[in-house]
Amino acid sequence: MIVATAGHVDHGKTTLVRALTGEDTDRLPEEKRRGLSIDLGFAYLPLAGGAPLAFIDVPGHERYVRNMAAGVHGIDLALLVVAADDGPMPQTREHLAILERLGAPQLLAVLTKVDRVAPDRVAAARAEIDALLAGGRFAGAETIALSAQSGEGLDALRARLVEIAQSVPPRAANRRFRMHVDRAFIVDGQGLVATGTVLSGAIDIGSEVQVLPGGLRARVRGLRANRAEAARAIAGQRCALALHGLDRGDVERGDTLVDSGEAALSPRIDIELEPLGALPARTGTVGVHLGTAQLAARLSRFGRFARLAFAHPVSTCKGDRLLIRDPGSHRLAGAGTVIDPMPPERGAARPQRLAWLESIAGKSADEAFDALLDGEPGQVDARWFASSYHLPPGELQRLEAARDLAAFTLRGERNLMRAARWEALCARLEHAVGDWHAAHVDAIGPRPAEVGAPLAAVASSLIAQGRLVREGACLRLPGHRPVLSPQDEALWRRAAPLLASGGARPPRVHELAPQLEMEPKLLAEFLQRAARAGRVHRVAANRFFLPETIDRLVGLAAALDADSAGRGFAAAAYRDRSELGRNLTIEVLEYLDQAGYTRRAGQLRRLRTDSQEEKRPRWGARTSNPERGV
């Protein structure tokens, strides 16, 4: 069990820890000289047949309240120390507020220096403490009166601590290793040692850790858990890690150590906000206590929620508690709970976004997973989710296995959706394409935007399943063939051989028109209809190519690309190989670029390979950028 002291300066915190453990936690020369704690102190009380009690002694002076805040996250129990002669004082209140907000699970009040006062003052001070706690999270907490000087009451406190230690629930086992660093120092022969309270998971000698936010990685070469040499430290223990390969300055208080897996890291976080004092009405600069770090941030409020934007990335997890200070007065102005450790940059105030935050606020990983799947838009980014909750890989698998889900790729990330919902999206698109076919029998099929394709991934999935076919920029049902009117069909039978006879240089519209004894304008209109039906490709305003001709021209580009050893080919090389002549070469190459067969970079072109998993278009020009796709 980890126990932290709290309370006003000089009320006897350090003396109490010494009386319990025999250790003096005021080690700094300046602390000795001034008779005052400045930084955190650490001491242990061995218990027979169990883990020792680990004490974190905090300074009471108002100037060092940031050190206090760094010391009390991740503890199991707070000892709020109040001197009987003074009673509650300003930092008693401030520390209590911090403990309430940072989520200390339990609090025990300790009334010290009772040797200095008369018995009726002890009773009065008890009443003052009860009144102080009333209405807060620790209302009704027990007060133990004692004197660290005479030893009176110490046994009662010790016995109570042992009792509480036995009832402390084990920490959740389903999160990965994480520890905010509260001290880092060099030990001769060991190198850099970083200490902290293990918040979640476990860490072993030999494993790799990351130092966040910087991202340095190091191997654990030495380890202590609750000060004893050990092979492993687990959540709820004080831990010291000797980190191989790191040097002074590589790790500092405020950094976070995590295992080697992916962890949330972002210059902005979205929080649920609890206003306590002088908070900016809408936006403003604030001070933030986050883990053991002290940072400046820009606060933007959105009702119950707020965004904190930092100058550098921070690593948080969903559910992390933080404190907000007024940057001028340093007074506690608010508290927060992290809801999204990696929010998208834009759209923070959108109603959908706030509803989304609302749906997962205060929820466990399991609950939030369901809430996201059942909410809008009903999809969960798997990597975001696992990082936000710092889940081990098996946990996400467990969540997935317990539900009937469909997985798909969205903006390069694996996303999950309830299978029934996903199938409904697929069926809706399939039907929309069918309806479109019915309304446009002479056309290949709709562009995705014309049928309101909800997600690119829906169309891709249907294509992969063979339920839709991609034709250039269009979609069609596998069975759909565009039909021409009988007149157009008859005309096509005459026109197709003429187009074919021209090879790579089919006749232009005004050359073809006299051969077919037609007005060029009417012929152009007919060829447009044929293009819509996928019979020809419109390469330029007056030039239509048969699909097999396009295939040959693409083959030529592929051959030149293959010969270029990865550099790409020039238009002149294509002209020489195709013998198309300068102007037509440019027209053809521009068509190939625009249709997505080739990609132009400066004067050179390469064959596109990034969309190879997609079916190469055979009919119809691909006029949209395939990267944006459907």
Ligand X SMILES: Nc1nc2c(ncn2[C@@H]2O[C@H](COP(=O)(O)OP(=O)(O)OP(=O)(O)O)[C@@H](O)[C@H]2O)c(=O)[nH]1
User: Token match 């293009």: residue?
Assistant: 531
Residue 148: name its binding partner from Mg ion, ligand X, none (Cβ under 5 to 8 Å by kind).
Answer: ligand X
| Residue 12 binds which of Mg ion, ligand X, none (CB < 5-8 A, kind-dependent) | ligand X
List the interface residues with Mg ion, window 25-54 (CB under 5 A). Answer: 37
Give the integer Cα–Cα distance in Å for 310 and 286: 10
Number of residues that bind Mg ion (CB under 5 A): 3
Strand 216-225 to strand 228-229: parallel, antiparallel, or no bridges (unpaired)?
antiparallel
**With CB under 6 A, what is the number of residues at the site for ligand X?**
19
Tell me if 14 contacts ligand X by CB under 6 A: yes
* Cα end-to-end distance, the chain, whole Å: 55
Residue 593, strand partner residues: none
Classify 199 as helix, strand or coil: strand
Q: Does 9 bind ligand X (CB under 6 A)?
A: yes
Query: Alpha-carbon Rg of the chain, whole angstroms?
Result: 35
* Cβ atoms of residues 341 and 264 within 8 Å: yes
Neighbours of 312 (CB within 10 A): 9
Residue 577 parent element (H or E): helix 571-578
Q: Does 112 bind ligand X (CB under 6 A)?
A: yes
User: 39-64 burial by CB neighbour count: b if 16+ within 10 A, else e?
Assistant: bbbbbbbeeeeebbbbbbbbbbbeeb
9 or 338, CB closer to ligand X?
9
Question: Is residue 14 involved in binding Mg ion (CB under 5 A)?
Answer: yes
Site for Mg ion contains 315 (CB under 5 A): no
Q: Which is nearer to ligand X, 10 or 259 (CB)?
A: 10
Pick the stretch among 55-63, 98-106, 186-194, 319-327 that binds ligand X (CB under 6 A).
55-63
Please say whether the beta carbons of 536 and 545 come within 8 A: yes
- Least distance between Mg ion and beta carbon 98 (Å): 16
| 66 touches ligand X by CB under 6 A | no
Residue reference for tokens 């759209």: 347
Q: Judged by CB, which is closer to ligand X: 148, or 539?
A: 148
CB-based burial label for 236 (10 Å; 0-12, 13-18, 19+): buried
Pairing of strands 77-83, 2-6: parallel
Q: Smallest distance, Å, CB 6 to Mg ion?
A: 11
CA 267 to chain CA centroid, Å, is: 11
Q: Which of 2, 4, 6, 11 binds ligand X (CB under 6 A)?
A: 11
Neighbours of 562 (CB within 10 A): 11
**Residue (59 or 213) nearer to ligand X, CB:** 59
> Which range, of 14-22, 198-206, 277-285, 392-400, touches Mg ion by CB under 5 A?
14-22
Q: Which does 61 bind (CB under 5 to 8 A by kind): ligand X, Mg ion, none?
A: ligand X
How far is the C-alpha of 7 from the C-alpha of 125, rounded, in Å?
A: 14
Residues 122-181 that bind ligand X (CB under 6 A): 147-149
Contact between 60 and ligand X per CB under 6 A: yes
Q: Which strand ranges, in their side-by-side order, compose the sheet holding 379-381?
A: 379-381, 413-418, 405-410
Q: Is 61 an interacting residue with respect to ligand X (CB under 6 A)?
A: yes
* 122 versus 546: smaller Cβ distance to ligand X: 122
Q: Give 465's contacts (C-beta < 8 A, 6+ positions apart).
A: none
- Asked if 37 interacts with ligand X (CB under 6 A), we say yes
Residue 116 interacts with, from ligand X, Mg ion, none (CB under 5-8 Å by kind): ligand X
Cα separation of 202 and 173, whole Å? 9
Query: By CB under 6 A, is residue 36 in contact with ligand X?
Result: yes
Considering the rule CB under 6 A, would residue 71 count as an interface residue with ligand X? no
Of 13-21, 216-224, 392-400, 439-447, which segment contacts ligand X by CB under 6 A?
Answer: 13-21
Binding segment for Mg ion (CB under 5 A), chosen from 8-16, 306-314, 576-584, 610-618, is 8-16
- Positions in the binding site for ligand X (CB under 6 A): 9-15, 36-37, 59-61, 112-113, 115-116, 147-149
- Positions in the binding site for Mg ion (CB under 5 A): 13-14, 37
